[in-house]
A = this chain, B = another copy of it.
Amino acid sequence: MSSAVKTLELLKFFSDAQPEIGLTQLCRMAKRDKATTHRHLQDLEKVGFVEQNMQTKDYRLGPAVLQLAQTRENTVPRKAGAKNALHRLSDATGETAHVSVLSGTTLYTLDSMESPQHSIRVIIDLPTFPLHATASGLCVLAFGSPALLETACENLEKFTEHTLLTKSEVQAAVEDTRKTGFGCANKTFEDEVYSLSVPLFDQTGAVAGALSLASVASRFTHEVGLNIRRNLMTGAREVTRNWGGSIPASLEERWANALENSTELEILS
């Protein structure tokens, strides 16, 4: 392995939980020699990727990363970072894929992509999504702040005969979403539309939006649902990575469990 990679790998030991690390401690974590690690840290310091706390001699991330992050954000904005996953999702499933971003308490449509596979297909042309009535909305409610859930329950607009209209119904649906890691909206927003969704995260670790797939309800089957879920998982990982976040380990577990006990899934729907 090149020394450059070894050097750069040291950076990933710095985290919110452990923002400052001493030389010996970092050696233990990285299972590296002290002299080598010291030289690597010197290199990183030279280019501003780490700096030293002059009091404690501990190392922490340096200011150079801020500038790079700014440029990255300008280079690959959110929409571009979701484009590939969106295409692949709609291709793989033959249905309409959709990405949304959460800003404040509103879920905005970022992009959507239809598949030409079926002549009857879901068209998404709404700029914002109601949180209580869509799969994407349930996802951000399930993985967002409790305050967001409170706000969303203040005004439960009715869209179809299946729309959740009481706070306890919404809370139950959010609970299910949290448990499986998949948001599910069966004709709750539009008649004949069955939607599945997964949350997306950004560099702050907070939920930043959702990736969803809208299928025509009459052609939705158990098998189709499994395929969609698998593709949603892949897509969420890619988009989340591009947005600088990572899928929480607990969510990955829930996804794995949900797919294992797949027979239970449709009961929840």
Contact = CB atoms under 8 A, between A and B. Distances in A.
Nearest to A45: B104
Contact of A63 (B16, B66, B71, B108): B108
B66 A203 contact: yes
A255 B188 CA distance: 59
Contacts of A45: 104
Given A7-B4, A51-B103, A54-B204, A108 B67 contact: yes
A250 B231 CA distance: 49
B3 A110 contact: no
A75 B61 contact: yes
Interface residues of A, number: 67
Interface string A64-85: 1111111111111011010000
B66 A61 contact: no
A267 to B, nearest CB: 35
B243 A48 contact: no
A127 interface: yes
Interface of A: 2-9, 11-12, 14-16, 19-20, 39-40, 43-49, 51, 54-55, 60-76, 78-79, 81, 101, 103-104, 106, 108-111, 127-128, 202-205, 241-246
20 contacts: A2-B43, A3-B4, A4-B6, A7-B8, A9-B47, A14-B75, A45-B104, A48-B108, A51-B103, A51-B104, A54-B204, A62-B103, A63-B242, A63-B243, A65-B72, A65-B244, A66-B79, A69-B70, A69-B244, A70-B203
B66 A5 contact: no
Contacts of A2: 3, 39, 43
A11 B48 CA distance: 12
Contacts of A51: 103-104
A229 B246 CA distance: 44
A49 B8 contact: yes
What 4 A-B pairs are tightest by C-beta distance, nearest first?
A66-B244, A69-B69, A19-B75, A4-B7
A49 B76 CA distance: 13
A195 to B, nearest CB: 19
Given A4-B4, A7-B4, A54-B204, A63 B103 contact: yes
Nearest to A70: B203
A4 B70 CA distance: 22
